[in-house]
Amino acid sequence: MARHVAVIGGGSSGLTCIKCCLDEGLEPVCFESSNDIGGLWRFKETPEPERSSMYRSLVVNTSKEMMCFSDFPMPAHYPNYMHHSMLLNYLRLYAEHFDLLKYIHFQTTVLSVRQRHDFSHTGQWEVITEDRDGHKETHVFDGVLVCSGSFTHPVTPLSAFPGIDTFPGKCCHSWEYKEPHSFNGKRVVVIGIGNSGGDIAVEISRVAERTFLSMRGGAWVVSRLSTGGLPLDMNMITRLSALLLQVFPRALLSWAVERFYNQKYNHRLYGLQPSHRMLDQRPIINDELPGRILQGALQDTRQASHSYCLQRTTILWGK
């Protein structure tokens, strides 16, 4: 008798889990709280509470060669680094090709997951769901795969900024950000230099009067374009790279990679030099950030007057 498995979420992970369950002879039942697949990769004009959100211009940081599922290559006409709408379309093609949609219960929210009273003997789970009409139902499954994603709750540490309660400007988070037009002609401080913070700072700097980038500790910033014009991850994620990490000291390899990237532009001169080594954390992937700094369109707050920045600006937290 086939085992029943609950899959929570119909995004990229949820779809692949359904497919893997079918490959292993299991019977998956997927619960998706929204009315469509895609999860993170579904763009919404207005952010929805308890759901991830992204900006209109977002382009993926992983090339299609490294991102595609092993059993379903991306269409040949897709660019190496695609717009988020193309990735969503790829997920639709994947779901249709393997006939996965029939296993998904849309607009059904999982309220709780807990071990049954006889779990030590059966290994079974009790899952309670609620549909869009408010009808609750209790299910029993032999396994549960949680694919509900991340980046659903924006973090805005207002308490870390004394005087923020009297700040007359606007404060928002990258979770709310969609496009730069509302920042036209304004002074903007972007706090944080994750991939989203870097993208948003570059985009806003094209329309704002002044754009400042506030960083706690700097970051190594690399381009999607690598040696020989190939995508970065195709050159970096290789068997040779894995072998080098096993053979040579990590500090030595970090020094070599840092030297390579600093030959293109010196991170210290650009105000980006981090305290951590190159291989200790993931670098920030951004094709335009150094150029915007070089043009003066984007400025590190460590090189500017903080009081000037914070008295007359919009503050935006970037993740």
Q: Residues 244-286: pLDDT tens digits?
A: 999 999 999 999 999 999 999 999 999 999 999 999 999 999 9
166: pLDDT confidence band, cut at 50, 70 and 90? confident
Higher-pLDDT residue of 250 and 309 is: 250
**Cα 157 to chain center, whole Å?**
20
Confidence grade of residue 76 (pLDDT, cut at 50, 70, 90): very high
Q: Which residues of 40-65 are buried (b: 16+ CB within 10 A; e: fewer)?
A: bbbbeeeeeeebbbbbeebebbbbbe
d(CA 184, CA 74): 37
Candidates 279, 305, 46, 316; CA nearest to 198 is 316
- Is the pLDDT at 163 greater than 90? The verdict is no
Query: Regarding beta strands 221-222 and 27-32, do their DSSP bridges make them parallel or antiparallel, or are they unpaired?
Result: unpaired
Q: Residues near 204 by Cβ (< 8 Å), separated by ≥ 6?
A: 180, 183, 188, 190, 211, 316
Pair of tokens at residue 228: 């020989």
First to last CA, the chain: 46
Smallest CA-to-CA distance from 300 within 163, 171, 201, 228 is with 201
Domain ranges of the chain: 4-146, 158-317
User: Other C-beta atoms within 10 Å of 219: how many?
Assistant: 24
pLDDT surpasses 60 at 307: no
pLDDT of residue 302: 63
The mean pLDDT value of the chain amounts to 92
Q: How far apart are CA 303 and CA 165, in angstroms?
A: 25
Tell me which fold the domain 4-146 belongs to. Answer: FAD/NAD(P)-binding domain (3.50.50)
pLDDT digits (tens, 9 = 90+) for 22-59: 999 999 999 999 999 999 999 999 998 888 999 999 99
Distance of CA 41 to the CA centre of its chain: 9
pLDDT tens figures, 123-160: 999 999 999 999 999 999 999 999 998 878 888 888 88
Rounded Cα–Cα distance for residues 84 and 67 (Å):
13
pLDDT of 154: 85
**Whole-number pLDDT of residue 309:** 46
Q: Region 87-106: what's the mean pLDDT?
A: 98
pLDDT score, position 40: 92
**Full 3-state SS string of the chain:** CCCEEEEECCCHHHHHHHHHHHHCCCEEEEEECCCCCCHHHCCCCCCCCCCCCCCCCCECCCCHHHHCECCECCCCCCCCCCEHHHHHHHHHHHHHHCCCHHHEEECEEEEEEEECCCHHHHCCEEEEEEECCCCEEEEEECEEEECCCCCCCCCCCHHHCCCHHHCCCCEEECCCCCCCHHHCCCEEEEECCCHHHHHHHHHHCCCCCEEEEECCCCCCEECCECHHHCEHHHHHCCHHHHHHHHHCCHHHHHHHHHHHHHHHCCCCCCCCCCCCCCCCCCCEECCCHHHHHHCCCCEEHHHCCHHHHHHCCEEEECC
pLDDT at 313: 57
Predicted structure pTM score: 0.90
Evaluate whether 78 touches 65 at the Cβ level (below 8 Å).
no
Q: Is there a contact between 132 and 114 (Cβ–Cβ < 8 Å)?
A: no
Least confident of 85-89, 171-175, 248-252: 171-175
Write the pLDDT tens digit of every residue in 219-240. 999 999 999 999 999 999 999 9
Q: How far apart are CA 302 and CA 270, in angstroms?
A: 11
**pLDDT confidence of residue 14:** 98
